[in-house]
Chains A and B, each alone.
Chain A
């Protein structure tokens, strides 16, 4: 149980375009999902907390108008990188916790590698 999927697994786009990444909890309902960004050989940097039915909570320094988060249902959160630039190239990972589970742990998606040309 507690499987999280992410789509797409990789995407290459041109500078100035927008990219949408989906995060789904497959076998549980996730009222809260988290979006991370990870640069090569670095740790996971929390970007925002996605709350079902309400606005996302962004970490300090993360531009909410650039990284749009929508948590429209209990199993789906989306991250849209708007007007992407080469510096947005990174590995984006989502996670979700299972309130019906036995622990507080977060289950991670497989990640999306974004390359902006």
Chain B
């Protein structure tokens, strides 16, 4: 089955700096890659997603890049703010409306 690895496990940045979280996947058939933000005790919330026919997607301060050849995708957050502090999970999925394989998570701490 699919295996998703996520790095780093923790990331601490200064407010205003950029943060990058990287994920790799093993199954070349994976075609959908969402990123979720989870605050302590809360539900995961989708922040951005990308399909395999697109190399990059941006939404204000958040962007995701996908390299299908290398089988890795990354989350980029620019101009970080303290409210960006949370745990971020990447995931990969094969086909349509199928199960997600989640990465291990990255705890992002934005220091004011």
Q: How many of chain B's residues have a CB under 8 angstroms from any CB in A?
A: 24
Complex CA gap A41/B10 in Å reads 11
Interface residues of B in 21-44 (CB under 8 A from A): 32, 34, 36, 41-44
Are B100 and A106 neighbours in the complex by a CB distance under 8 Å?
yes
Across the interface, which residues of B come within 8 angstroms of A34, CB to CB? 99-100
Q: How many of chain A's residues have a CB under 8 angstroms from any CB in B?
A: 21
Contact partner of B105 (CB less than 8 A), chosen from A32, A43, A93, A99, is: A43
B residues with a Cβ closer than 8 A to A are: 32, 34, 36, 41-46, 49, 51, 89, 93, 96-105, 107
Q: List 17 A-B contacts (CB under 8 A).
A: A32-B97, A34-B100, A42-B104, A42-B105, A43-B89, A43-B102, A43-B105, A46-B99, A49-B99, A93-B44, A97-B97, A104-B34, A104-B97, A105-B46, A106-B100, A108-B43, A108-B44
